Each structure stands twice: as structure tokens, then as C-alpha cells.
Amino acid sequence: MHDIVFLFDVDNTLLDNDRVRDELSEHLAENYGLAARDRYWEILRALLDELGYTDYLGALERYRLEAMHCPKLLLMSSWLVDYPFADRLYPHALDVIKHVQQWGPAVILSDGDAVFQPRKVDRSGLRRAVDDRVLIYVHKERELADVERFYPAAHYVLIDDKLRILTAVKQIWGARVTTVFPHQGQYALDPQIVAAYPPADIELARIGDLAACDRNWFLKEGNAL
């Protein structure tokens, strides 16, 4: 039983996933054409609705069935798998992980598929930064009992760019969790999405600001940086 455990989301929390998506979109347009790019995103959005998470490789597999006679398309998997995710970490993301671990273990808590998301965590250096403490689910807010089983703690700190997730976990864990909301990425910067949920316990302009927080800060509500 730890006194405190820090749970970090990945996409748009520690890693600039919006930039990855933009570069993927540019790559598709340049190498396969605008029609292929647009069709890929259509399939990706449909899979998100179906599965509950973004499945980049699954969308490629489905698109391949429509473009079976375009062998060049298979090169896209190499682009995804070999992408330099370490270059897309937000400034001071690794420093923040190191900073909080003086009070308790840091754990990656992410949603995603069983192949690409773990690959992203590995190639970005995040798995090594958290000493292999990585949990990836389809809907992580529904798996809190599993989180407690692996990493029991008196108190949790959840850092996530989605207020929807922070709100859902707060409703379940209550005072046992401090929710931290970095204003980064498309969801955190959408005023309509933000207005639909109550504020987090702690709000940050960027993930690097977490390095200015001390242990007591995480046990209070209504803080902002």
C-alpha cells in the first residue's frame, strides 16, 4: 500500500498526440493522395465509435481491404510503428515523472489498442521512465478496481487532458483522488467540451508546470498554475 500513486495519461498529456496526427495526415496526403487520407480518417472515426479507442493500425487493416491492390499502402504501417515518439514528448514531461516519484510511484494509465499504444509508450521512453508500470485499457475509467489491485494506495493523483475522464474517476474515488487537468490538446482546448464538466482539482497551463507542485499541493483542491 503506497501513500500516494501518480497516474499519467499519455496522449496530449505527456505526448503531443495532436502533432503526431497532423504529421500522419500530411504523410497520407503526400504519399497516397487526398482521397486516401480522407478515407483513412473516416474509417478511424468509425472504429473509435465502435471500439471506444483510436485504433490506427486497425483502421489501416480495414482500409487495406478496400485498397488490396495498392501494395504501397502497406508501407504506412512502418511509418506508424517506427515513428519517433520520443521527439513528441512535451517539454519537461520526463522531468515531471521523475519529480513526483520522490513521493510515490508514477504509473502510465492509458486507453488504446494492444499493439500501437504499447509501442508508443515504449518508443517515447515513457515505459522506462515509470519502471515498466504501464496499464492500457479500452475504458480506463471503468477499470479502477484493477488499478487498485496492481497499485494499491491511500491516495491517487490522476493527470489527464480529458475532463470527461477526470470527472468520471472523481465520481468513483471521491476524496481519494486529486484530478489534474493540463490545458493541452484538442479536447482540453475545446471550450464546449470544457464547459460540459466541472473543473478539476488542479489545473495547469502545461504538463511541465507539475514540477512546481509539492506533495501537499496534490492533497488540496482548487489549485491552479
Q: What is the mean pLDDT of residues 7-12?
A: 97
Task: Give me the domain span that covers residue 197.
Answer: 2-15+89-224
Q: What is the CATH number of the domain that holds 170?
A: 3.40.50.1000
Domain boundary among 85, 109, 127: 85
pLDDT at residue 215, as a whole number: 87
User: How many CA atoms are closer than 13 Å to the CA of 138, on its beta-carbon side?
Assistant: 6
For residues 139 and 50, membership in a common domain is answered with no
pLDDT tens-digit series, residues 165-184: 999 999 999 999 999 999 99
Q: What is the CATH number of the domain that holds 49?
A: 1.10.286.50
Which of 135, 119, 129, 140 shows the shortest CA–CA distance to 93? Answer: 129
pLDDT at residue 69, as a whole number: 63
pLDDT tens-digit series, residues 26-59: 999 998 899 989 999 999 999 988 888 888 888 9
Mean pLDDT of the chain: 91
For residues 119 and 52, membership in a common domain is answered with no
pLDDT at position 24 over 50: yes
User: CA-CA distance, 133 to 208, in Å (whole number)?
Assistant: 21
For residues 113 and 178, membership in a common domain is answered with yes
Domain boundary among 41, 70, 85: 85
Q: Measure the CA angle with vertex 118, ends 129 and 45; round to 5°.
A: 130
Kindly state the DSSP code that residue 151 receives in the 8-state scheme.
S
For residues 108 and 155, membership in a common domain is answered with yes
Phi-psi bin for 17: left (phi > 0), alpha (psi -120 to 50), beta?
alpha
Q: pTM here?
A: 0.91
CB < 8 Å & 24+ apart, contacts of 181-184: 182/13, 182/206, 182/207, 182/209, 182/210, 184/12, 184/13, 184/16, 184/90
For residues 142 and 204, membership in a common domain is answered with yes
Domain boundary among 54, 69, 85: 85
For residues 23 and 98, membership in a common domain is answered with no
pLDDT at position 193 over 90: no
Residue 14 dihedral angles phi and psi, to the nearest 5°: -100, -25
**Sign of the torsion formed by the C-alpha atoms of 14, 17, 20 and 26:** negative
For residues 124 and 57, membership in a common domain is answered with no
User: How many CA atoms are closer than 13 Å to the CA of 109, on its beta-carbon side?
Assistant: 29
How many domains in the chain?
A: 2
Q: What is the mean pLDDT of residues 192-198?
A: 91
Greatest C-alpha distance within the chain: 60
For residues 118 and 175, membership in a common domain is answered with yes
pLDDT at position 222 over 50: no
For residues 132 and 79, membership in a common domain is answered with no
For residues 99 and 178, membership in a common domain is answered with yes
For residues 138 and 219, membership in a common domain is answered with yes
